[in-house]
Amino acid sequence: MPSNVDTDLYGLLEELGGQLYLDAQIDIPPDVRAGLKAAMERESSQVARGIVNTMLRAIDISDRKHALVCQDTGIPIFWVTIGNGFEIDGVQLVAALTRGIERVTRDHPLRSSIVDPITRENRQTSTGEGIPVIHVEFSKDIDHLDLLMMPKGSGSESMSFLAMLTPADGLAGVKKFVLDIAVGAQGKPCPPTIVGVGIGGSSDLCTTLAKKATLRPVGERHSDPKIAALELELLEAINATGIGPMGLGGDTTALDVHIETAWTHITLNPVAVNMQCWRGERRRAKISRDGSYVIGY
């Protein structure tokens, strides 16, 4: 299907898909850097300050050398938001983004972290059945195409949990679940983490909301004041545990807590937690209908 975009849209998506995957692993978002610097000033423990300082050094070295910050290239995940009146062929979109990931993996080269779950075969392309993960959403508030990419490393992705709580468990049950997960995870997700929490929906929507929540910039609050207050309450609670950077003790276990919600069934009270490691990797392109684009975070 031809698109109403004045360019080779699918060629551009292939190009950008690969580029965003690579650049997200090299250039850490400014809000994450600011969060780490704030942690550096807040930490009372010398060991914790030393750890955060090494994290900031890693970011700096990667800036200078244009090198990957971490060796884990992760699972490539795209969040595509199609704006009002932006016409696009979904089949070609998926094919273009997949080709982009394959090409940058071969050309850079990048470690392919993707295997068949049964045979453990690795095609060395960073792709496979269902990978890259591509979430597609629609927005009436924009008229461009928003392409957001996150490479998701396994250390933090391993710390993903869902609980189908009951209405009787209430919001208190939700808070307890999030806190208990943070305590149980200790140093495994490479803290200080960005903690994403999904509340409500069906089980699949709930876990998707939790992951999406990790993508909101550090320090940015939910637009709903009561959810924003809950985010700050949980952030304070998680940091009060003293787990600290890399789980070796300190005042900063999470850089932020972000919550996304959806309405749910009368009998359900679902909550999901997804964590992003201290690098908070993400990269975005806003593609306009005239084929121009802007790169950001």
Q: Tell which positions 66-85 bind other proteins, by CB under 8 A.
A: 67-72
Q: Does 55 bind other proteins (CB under 8 A)?
A: yes
- DSSP string across the chain: ---SSSS-HHHHHHHHHHHHHHHHTTS--HHHHHHHHHHHHH---HHHHHHHHHHHHHHHHHHHHT--SSS---EEEEEEEEETT----HHHHHHHHHHHHHHHHHHTT-------TTT----SSS-BTTBSEEEEEEESS-SSEEEEEEEE-HHHHTS-EEEEE-GGGHHHHHHHHHHHHHHHHTTTT-SSEEEEEEEES-HHHHHHHHHHHTTSPTTPPPSSHHHHHHHHHHHHHHHTT---GGGSS-S-SEEEEEEEEE---TT-EEEEEEEE-TT---EEEEE-TTS-EEEE-
Of 37, 61, 135, 290, the one binding other proteins by CB under 8 A: 61
Is 125 a residue that touches other proteins (CB under 8 A)?
Answer: no
Q: Contact between 187 and other proteins (CB under 8 A)?
A: yes
Q: Which is nearer to other proteins, 123 or 286 (CB)?
A: 123
Interface with other proteins, residue 51, by CB under 8 A: yes
* Sole binder of other proteins in the list 155, 192, 198, 270 (CB under 8 A): 155
Out of 9, 218, 243, 275, which residue is the one contacting other proteins (CB under 8 A)?
Answer: 243
Residue 186 as a binder of other proteins (CB under 8 A): the answer is: yes
Which residue, 3 or 253, is less far from other proteins as judged by CB? Answer: 253
CB of 53 to other proteins, least distance (A): 9
Q: Which residues bind other proteins (CB under 8 A)?
A: 47, 50-51, 54-55, 57-59, 61-62, 65, 67-72, 111, 153-155, 158, 172-173, 175-176, 179, 183, 186-188, 190, 233-234, 237, 240-249, 277-279
